[in-house]
Amino acid sequence: MSSVGENQASPDVLIVGAGPAGLSAAIELKKRGVAQVVVIEREREAGGVPRHCFHPGFGLQDLRRNLTGPNYAQRLVSKAQDLGVEIATSSTVNAIAPDKTTRVTSPHGILDLHPRFVLLTTGVRERPRSARLVPGTRPAGVFTTGQLQQWVGLKKFPVGTRALVVGAEHISFSAVQTLRHAGVSCVAMVTDHPRHQSLWGASLLIRAVYQAPLLLGTELIEILGTHRVEGALLRNVASGSVEKIDVDTIVFTGDWVPDAELAYRSAIEISPLTRGPMVESDGRTSVDQIFAAGNLVQPAETAGIAARRGTEAAMHIANQIYQPIVAQRIVIPLECDESLLWVTPQRLVLNEELERLYFRTRLFSSKKFLAVRQGDRVLGRYRLRHTSPNRGLSVPGAWSKDVEKESGPVRIALCD
C-alpha cells in the first residue's frame, strides 16, 4: 500500500474507502477485467472497520468462514492486491466535482484525479454523545464502540473500571466484550426500547458470561463528573423514576449515521431517511457515473452484506464500462410509509430486476407482512417473523419485474 501518485491520475474506477464494500468492489472489477482500479483510504491501513474489531464473527456470509475482524480485513486486502488493485492509504478524498475530478489530500500534498467512474464506500459512524444531545458535563471517559475498540485493540490505552453501555443492539454486545477484554466491568446496558435488538442467544450468552445487567425502557438523562466521568443519571421511561449509577466510563453504541459528508459536498442527492446517498437498484447515485454502496447506503449492516453490495455495484459499473447504455432509463421511486425507517434502493430502474430490497422497521412486531404495492396492485407480500428497530431486514426483489411505467411510485409498508 502506498500514497496516491501521478500514475493514478485517470483510473477507470476510483473507489473511496477501503472497507469490506470498497475492497470487494475492487476485487470484482479486477475479476471482470477492468484495467485500472484505485482505492483511496484515509487511514494508514486498508480494511475499514473490521481492522479494529478483534472478535470473531466476520466473513460468515461472504467468505463462509468465521474470522476475527483483522483477519477478515487482511484477506480482502491481500486478495485485492493479488489481483492488481492499487490501494492508496493515508489519503483522503475531499471533494468530487460534477465532471468527477476528485481532489485527494495525501502526505505528498493535494492531487486532482480524473476517474471515469467513482464508487463511494465511505461507511458509517456511530452517533457520538454530542449528536445525541445528552445533557451534563464534558468529562473524559466517554466513547463510541468504534473509539473504544481502537483504544483497546490498536492503541492499548487503559479505559476505566466501571462502564455503562448505552444501546442494546448487536454492536452493544460487542462493546461489552471489548470492555471485558480491557478489564472493565459493565455495570449496566440501557436501552429506551422495551426489548434488546440483538439475537436472543447471543445476548443471553454475553449477559450471562460478562454479567452485564440489561435495563429496558431506560434512558440516560445526564452525565456527571468534572474531569472524568463520575456517574450517570438514568430514567425509567414508564415510571419517570430517576436513579444514579456510579460509573467512570460511558460507551454510546449503534445509532448509525452514514459517513456522507463527501457525498453531500459532491452535490449527490441525500435520502432524508437513511441520511446516505439515494441510489438506484444498480447503486447509481443522482450524479452520473458516481455509484455508492455498503454501509454508506444502508446504515448499518454486517460486513458480509456491505461486501455483497459492493460486489453488486462493481458488476453494474463493469457492465457500463463494457456496454455503455444508450437507451433512456426509466426510474420509478420506491417509497415507504411510517411503519418503516427506510428502504434501499430508493429508485427502481424499469425492466431491471432488483436482487433484494433492504429495509428497517420503526417498531418491534411479529407475524407481520411486508407489502409492496404500485397503485392498487399488490406486487409482493412477504411474511416477517419478527421485526426489531435496529435489525437489518431484506426481501427478494422478484416483484420488480411487474412494476409498470405509468402506475406511479412503488409503496412499501408493514401490514397484518
Ligand X SMILES: Cc1cc2nc3c(=O)[nH]c(=O)nc-3n(C[C@H](O)[C@H](O)[C@H](O)COP(=O)(O)OP(=O)(O)OC[C@H]3O[C@@H](n4cnc5c(N)ncnc54)[C@H](O)[C@@H]3O)c2cc1C
Interface contacts to ligand X, rule CB under 6 A: 16-22, 40-43, 48-50, 53, 57-58, 92-93, 121-123, 145-146, 149, 171, 174, 259, 262, 294-295, 300-304, 306
Cα three-residue angle 95-298-318, rounded to 5 degrees:
65
Q: Which is nearer to ligand X, 47 or 397 (CB)?
A: 47
DSSP assigned state of 228: B
In the complex, minimum distance from the CB of residue 33 to ligand X, in angstroms, rounded to a whole number = 23
In the complex, minimum distance from the CB of residue 256 to ligand X, in angstroms, rounded to a whole number = 9
CA atoms within 13 A on the CB side of 244: 8
Show the cell assigned to 117. 467512474
Show the cell assigned to 347. 429508485
Q: Which is nearer to ligand X, 154 or 378 (CB)?
A: 154
Q: Which is nearer to ligand X, 66 or 161 (CB)?
A: 66
Phi, psi of 135 (to 5 degrees): -70, 170
Q: Which is nearer to ligand X, 123 or 225 (CB)?
A: 123
In the complex, minimum distance from the CB of residue 121 to ligand X, in angstroms, rounded to a whole number = 5
DSSP assigned state of 136: B
In the complex, minimum distance from the CB of residue 311 to ligand X, in angstroms, rounded to a whole number = 11
Q: Which is nearer to ligand X, 73 or 348 (CB)?
A: 73
Instruction: Please say whether the beta carbons of 152 and 239 come within 8 A.
Output: no
Choose among 170, 166, 180, 293: nearest CA to 232.
166
In the complex, minimum distance from the CB of residue 17 to ligand X, in angstroms, rounded to a whole number = 3
CA distance 287 to 254: 30
Grid look-up 459492493 returns 310
Q: Which is nearer to ligand X, 225 or 312 (CB)?
A: 312
In the complex, minimum distance from the CB of residue 300 to ligand X, in angstroms, rounded to a whole number = 6
CA distance 225 to 138: 8
- The enclosing H or E element of 48 equals none
Q: Which is nearer to ligand X, 104 or 229 (CB)?
A: 104
In the complex, minimum distance from the CB of residue 125 to ligand X, in angstroms, rounded to a whole number = 8
Choose among 296, 293, 387, 300: nearest CA to 339.
387
